[in-house]
Structure 1
Amino acid sequence: MSTNSTNLAEVARQAVELAKKQGASEAAANASRAREVEVQWRDGQLDKISEATTRGLSVQLYVDGRYSAVSTSDLRPEALERFISDSIAMTRALARDEHRRLPEPELYAGRTQVDLAIEDPHQAKLGADERQRIVRELEAAARAVDTKGAILSVTTAFGDVLRETYRVSSNGFEGGMRGTQFFASADVSAKDSDGRRPEESDFAVARFFENLPDATTLGRRAGERALGRLGAAKGASAVLTMAVDNRAAGRLVSMLLGPMTGMALQQKRSFLDGKQGQKVGSERLVLTDEPHIPRGLGSRLFDGEGIAAKPLPLFEAGVLRSYFIDSYYGRKLKARPTTGGASNLSWKLGEKGQAALLADLKEGILVTGFLGGNSNAVTGDFSLGVQGFRVRGGKIAEPISEMNISGNQMDLWKRLVAVGNDPFAYSAMRTPTLVFEGVQFAGV
C-alpha cells in the first residue's frame, strides 16, 4: 500500500468507520509514516548507517463508557478490520470512565490556515556522500582545536527525518501535517592530567537544513567545550549569582512546566496547583506557548487531540496565567481545556547577550550543564548537579564540576533577575541565558 499523505487519510477514515460499525460510540485514529536516515562516524571511520521507513496506526476507542488506545503497523484492509474488531472486544472488558470522550467539537474550531513552513524539500535531495561529508567535517573541526593531544575520541552523527500524520475523529475533526527535521552532533572525550576523561558535546536540530550551523562551526564548538572541562574542580560552597547557559536552561524550564499539566493538577502532584492568577516568579518571567512560529520545532496547527492550536499565555510578569489541560482532565477538573502540552516557547527577551550579562554579574557561576538530580513536582524542592565555569570580574574563569544547587522552584523563579537576548535555536523551548541571584551552591 502506498503511504503518501492521501492514503494516510484514507486509512484513518477507514479505521474510524470500522470502529463505529462494530459498536464504538466514538473513535479517533492517527495514521503516520516516517522515513529516517542516520550516519554515525567515530574516530576516522564510518560507524553506522541506518535508514528506516515506518508506518503505523493508533486508534482511540470509546465503547459503552469504556476507553482504550491501541496501535498497529499492519495497515492492510483485511488486517485492519480484524484489529478493530479484537480491540473493541477488549475495550468492552475494561472499567467504565465517564470522563473519557472525544473533545467537544467547538474545540476544533478556529484552526489557523497559516503556513508553518516545517517541511524542507531539500531533505529528499540529500545523498549518502553529503551525509558522510558532514560527519567527517564535524570530527575534523573538533580535533582541529586540540593543540596538545588531549582529545581521545570523537563521535559525530547526522540524520534527517520526514514525518507525516493524519488524524480523523468521529465527531468531525480531520487534519494532517508533514514536517522534516535535521540533526547534527559531535561528542568529544578528552584526557585530563589526573587521568579523568571529561566528555562534552554540541548539537543542533532544525526543520530546514539551511538552519543548521555548518559542520566546521559545530564540530569546533564541541572540541572547545571538551577541552574547556580540563582541570575542572569542585568550587567552594557559597551563595552566588547563577547564569544558566541558553543550551542548558531547558532543564530548569521543564521542571517548571511539568507540574502545569492537567494530570499533575488533578492527581495533586503539582506545586503550582491553585496558583493560577498568583505571582510565582519575578517580573522577568514572561512566557507564552506559541504554536505558529515558522520553522518552529514544536509548531503545529492542532494538538494530539485535534484541539486548534492557539497562543497561550503562561506567565506574565511572573504571574501564572494558564495550565496545559487536555479534554479528559478538563472534565475531571471542571476546567476548560487549553491544550495537552507545550509547543514552542516564546520569551520576553532582554537586551543583552551572555557576555554582557556575565559582565554585569561580576562574581558568580555560569552553569553550562546539569548532571543528574531531581525536582519534586509536589513540593517544588530540587537538587541538581551542575558543571560550568566560575565567573570573576565579569569574565569566565576556571571550570567547575561536581557541585550542586538546591532550593525550591517557587523561590528560584522569583530570583530571576535577567533574561538574555539569545534564545537557543535548536529546541522548542527556545530558552535564552537566564540569571538568578542568591543561589545556594554546594561544593567543598
Structure 2
Amino acid sequence: MSTMNTNLADAARQTVALAREKGANEASATVVRAREVEVQWRDGRLEKVSEATTRGLSLQLYVDGRYSAVSTSDLRPEALERFISDSIAMTRALARDEYRRLPEPELYQGRSQIDLSIEDPRQAKLTADERQRFARELEEAARSADTKGAILSVTTGFGDSHREMYRVSSNGFEGESRGTQFFASADVSAKDSDGRRPEESDYSIARFFEDLTDAATLGRRAGERALGRLGSTKGASAVLPMAVDNRAAGRLVSMLLGPMSGASIQQKRSFLDGKLGQQVGSELLSLTDEPHVKRGLGSRLFDGEGITARPLPLFDGGTLRSYFIDSYYGRKLKARPTTGSASNLAWKLGTKGQLELLADLKEGILVTGFLGGNSNGVTGDFSLGVQGFRVRGGKLAEPIGEMNIAGNQLDLWKRLVAVGNDPYQNSAMRTPTLVFEGVQFAGM
C-alpha cells in the first residue's frame, strides 16, 4: 500500500485489506476524525481556550483463532504497514479464544435509513467571539441570582465538537457516522454563614446549538442551585418517600443497567442473572432502548460492532425483557446478540411534572444529587450519599445534606410509585423525576 487516502472510508478499507494481506483471517477497522473546541471563563476573565483536531485508527484482528484490539494515531502508509505487521505478530502470541469472531453478517442486515439529525452545520461556523460571549453571559447570569453577596466564584465553560467515523469489517460491514455536540456548564461556589463553601453546577448538552439551554437561563439556574445549598442541615434518620430529580436519577438507572451486560450475566456477576421474564420492579418501570431518536445524544444506526441498531425493550411493567449482549458473549451464552451497550432510553412517562409529584408526596425528601457511594452489581446492595431538600406539606422546605440511603436494587425498584413527565434532555438516559416509597434515610 503506497498511499493512505485521507478519506476515512478509503483509509478503513485499505487497512482491512492490508491486515488480510498480512495474515489476519478477519479484521475490522474504525477510522475517526474529530475536532473539539473549548472555552473556559472564570470570575470575569477568559481562563482557557483549547482546540484539538485528532485522527485515529482502531483495528480488531482475528488471527488463527486469536484476537487483539489495537489503535494508532499515525496513519502514514509506512507507519501503518509496520503497525499492522507488528500487531499481527503480537496477536499470534496470544491464547486462542474460540468465541472471538466478527459478528455474523446477518446481524448487519436491516439497517434503518432514517436521518438521525445529529450533525449541526452551524458548528463549523461558530466563531471564537461567540464561544467566549456564551461563557461570559453564563457567569453574568449565575451572579445575577445572588442578592446577598454569597457567591464566591463562578467558572463557566462552552465547548463544541464534530466527530466523523467510518467502520469496515472484512465480512461485509461498512458504516459511517457524523455528528456534532455542544456543551455549556456553570460551576458556582458560595459562602455559608458557618464558613462552609457549598458548590453546585448546571449544564446543558445538545446535538444542535439551537437546542442548548440559553446562557441566561442556564447560568441563573446554576447560581440558584448553589445559593439553595446555603443553610443545609443533616436531616433526622427516617423512612420516608423519596423523589429523585430527573437530573440525578441517571445514577440510579446506571446501577440497574450495568448488571444487564452480557459479561456480567455470563460471569455470574449480576443480581439480574436468571431473571429474564421475571418481574424485578414495580409496574411503572417500563423503558426501551431507542437508538433512532432524532437529535438524540445516544442515537445511532449501528452499534460498536456494526450490529444493526433496533429498539430493544428492557423493562415492561417491571418485567425484565432483555440484556445487553454483544456477539462475543452471545456465543458464550448461546443467546442471540442484542447490542453491547445502551443508546437512548425511552420511558413510559407519567402525566405529572415534578411540582405536582411533590404535592402528592406531601412529606418526604427530594434528592437533587448523589454523593459518592457504591452499588454491588452481584448482590444489588447499594449505599449512596444524598443531598436535596426536605418536602413538607407538598412543598420544598429546608436543604438537607450529609445523609445516606442504603438498600437493595431489587427492593428499591419495586418501591417505584410515580414517574414524571419530564425526561432529562441532557443525557441519553432521559430520566424523568422518579418517586419511591418507604426509603431508609440515615444521617451520616
Q: Tell me whether the two structures share a fold, i.e. TM-score over 0.5.
A: yes
Alpha-carbon distance in structure 1 between the residues aligned to 2:363 and 2:356: 13
**Offset at residue 268 of structure 1 (A):** 1.1
What is the match of residue 198 of structure 2?
Answer: 198
Q: Which residue of 2 aligns with 1:230?
A: 230
Equivalent position of 1:174 in the other structure: 174
CA distance in 2, matches of 1:3, 1:30: 14
The residue aligned with 1:146 is 146
How far, CA to CA, are the matches of 1:218 and 1:119 in structure 2?
Answer: 23
Following superposition, the deviation at residue 126 of structure 1 comes to 0.2
Distance (Å, rounded) in 2 between the aligned partners of 1:30 and 1:294? 24
Q: Percent identity?
A: 83
Q: Where do 5+ consecutive residues of structure 1 fail to align?
A: none
Cα shift at 1:397: 0.3
Paired amino acid for 1:108: Y
* Counterpart residue type for residue 335 of structure 1: A
Tell me if the contact between 1:390 and 1:397 (Cα under 8 Å) persists in the aligned partners.
yes
Pair 1:120 & 2:131 matched = no
After the TM superposition, which parts of structure 1 deviate over 2 Å for at least 4 consecutive aligned residues?
1-4
Q: Distance in 2 between matches of 1:264 and 1:10?
A: 37
- Report deviation, 1:137: 0.3
- Alignment of 1:350 onto 2:336: no
Q: Which residue in 2 is equivalent to 1:272?
A: 272
AA in 2 matched with 1:279: Q
For the pair 1:90 / 2:90, whether they are aligned, the reply is yes
Could you say what the CA RMSD is over the residues aligned between the two structures, in angstroms? 0.9
Report the AA paired with residue 27 of structure 2: A
Contact 2:187 2:199 in 1 (8 A): yes
Is it true that 1:210 corresponds to 2:192 in the alignment? no
Residue of structure 1 equivalent to 2:62: 62
AA in 2 matched with 1:430: R
Contact 2:4 2:75 in 1 (8 A): no
> 2: distance between equivalents of 1:48 and 1:130?
15
Residues 28 and 366 of structure 1: CA distance in aligned 2, closer, same or farther (over 3 Å)? same
Q: Where in structure 2 are there 5+ consecutive unaligned residues?
A: none
Q: Which residues of 2 match residues 403-422 of structure 1 at below 5 A?
A: 403-422=403-422
- Cα deviation, residue 405, structure 1: 0.3
AA aligned opposite 1:243 = A
Contact 1:237 1:441 in 2 (8 A): yes
What is the CA deviation profile of residues 224-263 of structure 1, one whole-angstrom value per residue up to 9, with x for unaligned ones?
0000000001000000000000000000000000000001
Matches within 5 A, 1:334-373: 334-373=334-373
Deviation by residue 1:69-124 (Cα, 9 ceiling, x = unmatched): 00000111121111111100000000000000000000000100000000000101
> Corresponding residue for 1:10?
10
Q: Aligned-pair distance for 1:311?
A: 0.1
DSSP 3-state at the match of 2:133: helix
What is the letter of the counterpart of residue 124 of structure 2? A
Q: Is the 8 A contact 2:5 2:11 kept in 1?
A: no
What's the counterpart of residue 436 of structure 1?
Answer: 436
Letter in 2 for 1:99: Y
Amino acid at match of 1:158: F
Q: 1:277-288 counterparts in 2 under 5 A?
A: 277-288=277-288
Letter of the structure 1 residue corresponding to residue 178 of structure 2: R
| Distance (Å, rounded) in 2 between the aligned partners of 1:218 and 1:370 | 21
Are 1:308 and 2:308 matched, yes or no?
yes
- Supply the distance in 2 between the matched residues of 1:99 and 1:164 (Cα, whole angstroms): 30
SS in 2 for 1:88: helix
Whichever residue aligns with residue 130 of structure 1, its letter is E
After TM superposition, the score normalised by the length of structure 2 is: 0.99
Give, as a single letter, the amino acid of the residue that structure 1 aligns with 2:170.
Answer: S
Counterpart CA distance in 2 for 1:253 and 1:403 is 20
Distance in 2, Cα, partners of 1:2 & 1:81: 10
Answer whether contact 1:42 1:154 (CA < 8 A) is retained.
yes
Deviation string 1:127-155 (CA, Å, 9 cap, x unpaired) is 00000000000000000110111000000
Alpha-carbon distance in 1 for matches of 2:221, 2:4: 43
2:396 equivalent to 1:396: yes
SS at match of 2:368: strand
Q: Show the counterpart of 1:328.
A: 328
Q: 1:3, CA displacement in angstroms? A: 8.3
Q: Would the aligned equivalents of 2:4 and 2:77 in 1 still touch at CA under 8 Å?
A: no
CA separation in 2, counterparts of 1:10 and 1:162? 20
User: Any conservation in 2 of the 1:3–1:33 contact (CA below 8 Å)?
Assistant: no
Matched, 1:19 2:19: yes
Specify the alignment match of 2:37 in structure 1: 37
SS in 1 for 2:164: strand
The alpha carbon displacement at 1:2 in A equals: 9.5
Instruction: Output the TM-score relative to the length of structure 1.
Output: 0.99
Give, as a single letter, the amino acid of the residue that structure 2 aligns with 1:258.
G
The 10-residue stretch of structure 1 (177-186 or 264-273) with the greater mean CA deviation from structure 2: 264-273
Counterpart-to-counterpart distance in 2, 1:147 and 1:42:
20
* Matched letter for residue 301 of structure 2: L
Question: Which amino acid in structure 1 is aligned with residue 275 of structure 2?
Answer: K
Aligned-partner Cα distance in 2 for 1:339–1:173 = 16
1:345-365 Cα offsets, whole Å, 9 max, x none, are 000000000000000000000
> In the TM superposition, what whole-angstrom CA distance separates every residue of 1:273-313 from its partner, at most 9, and x where no partner exists?
00000000001000000000000000000000000000000
Deviation at 1:182, TM superposition (A): 0.1
| Counterpart-to-counterpart distance in 1, 2:321 and 2:280 | 10
Match of 1:252 in 2: 252
Instruction: Write the distance in 2 (CA, Å) between the matches of 1:151 and 1:61.
Output: 54
3-state secondary structure, aligned to 1:332: helix
Tell me, in whole angstroms, the C-alpha distance in 1 between the residues paired with 2:263 and 2:123.
37
- Give me the whole-angstrom Cα distance separating, in 2, the residues matched to 1:239 and 1:400: 15
Task: Measure the CA separation in 1 of the matches of 2:45 and 2:208.
Answer: 27
